[in-house]
């Protein structure tokens, strides 16, 4: 599908025009490569996140997105020749309806869009809402779904948080970093917690071949990826929880975002850290870096004789310590989902989901999904029900293996 004809979007009444022009022109693209150069330029100088970079989403479209038959709908807004916003959406058909949602939302931690800073600061919510409705009508989408959008981001309420927005089931966990790791460690951990973690770190360091590194060579990357996938599989099986990386397609996606795809000449959006001791990888952490923030994406830990020394906790401590020493990093983002180590290091940041029906069929599906998500959120926030669900999953998994 070729891009649509540019469409002018006039400023809302009683608002001053944003810089350089009085109207926003936008085009829609199904081929990410058509706008990849503009996209990269904007994300390198503007506001965004690594999960919506062209490299990340190109890998997703060629693997997990293709498996789900998602049709890319990449919206590029411009003032004159200058791109000021990129909104990477996709059309997905299910249950007799078509929804427009963020590309790759199931395999990222948050969705923000890519923005020119000044345009983001000044664009009225009404203009973005009008643009979104226009895109939905052009593609006959029954429903607009905007998941995991930060409610407050970069100094303002996010324009992709619509009036109908509801809380997302899980927050992300974020903290500003200083150059002084020791102060951060004292501020976030009690004396006994610090003493316990340092003791475990010393035990691991006493094992032959201890090292914590960010994989650089293809050999280290493939070896660490194998360990990550095996450790995640073991944990999912023992805990009775879903494993989003269990398929061969998911493995290929990770290979691509780690830069392991043959002939890939673009920079990899994802790094792979690991802790090794006695010749074995004991824990891993997939991380990304963008705009002064280190994003912790997904981790794993080996269930072996060194598990009692918490190699996963030691690894994230080492990563954070190195981030504090890096002058180019000022923010830590530990991603979605509440875990004890996340609440220790960072603070929860509320995300919002917006669902807007565009047709009668969309209204039916929206109401059903809203009820499902309300129930999911209630269970996750319950101090009684959520531990019960986790125990039930673990019991079900053990029964299925017996």
Q: Which pLDDT score is estimated for 397?
A: 54
Q: Which pLDDT score is estimated for 376?
A: 75
Q: Which pLDDT score is estimated for 265?
A: 66
Q: Is the pLDDT of residue 387 over 90?
A: no
Q: Which pLDDT score is estimated for 367?
A: 79
Residue percentage of the chain with pLDDT more than 70:
91
Q: Is the pLDDT of residue 16 over 80?
A: no
Q: Is the pLDDT of residue 71 over 70?
A: yes
Average pLDDT, the chain: 90
How many Å apart are CA 42 and CA 31, to the nearest integer? 17
Q: Is the pLDDT of residue 373 over 80?
A: no
Q: Which pLDDT score is estimated for 400?
A: 52
The domains found in the chain, sorted by start residue, are: 7-168+351-387 (3.40.630.30), 178-329 (3.40.630.30)
Q: Which pLDDT score is estimated for 261?
A: 84
Q: Answer whether 294's CB lies under 8 Å from 323's CB.
A: yes
- Per-residue model confidence as pLDDT tens digits over 187-236: 999 999 999 999 999 999 999 999 999 999 999 999 999 999 999 999 88
User: Whole-structure pTM over 0.85, yes or no?
Assistant: yes
Q: Is the pLDDT of residue 308 over 80?
A: yes
Q: Which residue has the higher pLDDT, 392 or 39?
A: 39
Tell me what the mean pLDDT of segment 163-176 comes to. 94
Tell me what the mean pLDDT of segment 131-151 comes to. 96
Q: Which pLDDT score is estimated for 21?
A: 36
Residue percentage of the chain with pLDDT more than 90:
75
């Amino acid at each position: 599908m070729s891009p649509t004809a540019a469409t002018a979007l006039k400023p809302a009444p009683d608002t001053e025009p944003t810089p350089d022009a009085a109207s926003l022109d936008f085009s829609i693209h199904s081929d990410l490569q058509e706008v990849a150069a503009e996209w990269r330029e904007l994300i390198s100088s503007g506001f965004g996140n690594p999960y919506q970079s062209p490299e990340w989403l190109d890998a997703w479209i060629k693997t997990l997105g293709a498996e789900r038959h998602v049709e890319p709908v990449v919206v590029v807004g411009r003032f004159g020749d200058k791109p000021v916003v990129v909104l990477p959406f996709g059309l997905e058909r299910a249950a007799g309806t078509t929804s427009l949602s963020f590309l790759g939302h199931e395999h990222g931690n948050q969705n923000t869009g890519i923005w020119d800073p000044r345009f983001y600061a000044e664009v009225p919510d009404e203009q973005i809402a009008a643009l979104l409705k226009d895109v939905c009508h052009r593609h006959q989408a029954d429903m607009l779904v905007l998941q995991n959008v930060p409610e407050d981001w970069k100094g303002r309420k996010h324009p992709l948080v619509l009036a109908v927005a509801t809380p997302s089931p899980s927050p992300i966990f974020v903290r500003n970093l200083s150059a002084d790791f020791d102060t951060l460690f004292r501020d976030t951990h009690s004396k006994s917690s610090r003493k316990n973690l340092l003791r475990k770190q010393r035990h691991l360091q006493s094992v032959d071949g201890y090292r914590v590194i960010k994989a650089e060579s293809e050999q280290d990357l493939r070896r660490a990826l194998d360990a990550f996938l095996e450790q995640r599989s073991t944990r999912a099986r023992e805990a009775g929880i879903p494993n989003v990386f269990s398929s061969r397609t998911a493995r290929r996606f990770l290979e691509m975002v780690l830069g392991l795809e043959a002939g890939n000449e673009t920079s990899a959006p994802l790094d792979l850290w690991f802790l090794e001791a006695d010749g074995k990888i004991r824990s891993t952490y997939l991380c990304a870096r963008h705009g002064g923030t280190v994003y912790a994406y997904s981790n794993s830990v080996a269930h072996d004789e060194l598990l009692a020394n918490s190699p996963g906790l030691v690894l994230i401590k080492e990563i954070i310590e190195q981030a504090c020493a890096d002058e180019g990093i000022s923010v830590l983002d530990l991603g979605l989902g509440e875990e004890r180590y996340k609440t220790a290091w960072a603070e929860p940041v509320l995300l919002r989901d917006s669902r807007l029906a565009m047709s009668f069929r969309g209204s039916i599906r929206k109401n059903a999904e809203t009820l499902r998500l309300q129930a999911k959120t209630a269970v996750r926030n319950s101090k009684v029900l959520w531990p019960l669900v986790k125990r039930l999953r673990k019991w079900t998994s053990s029964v299925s293996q017996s």
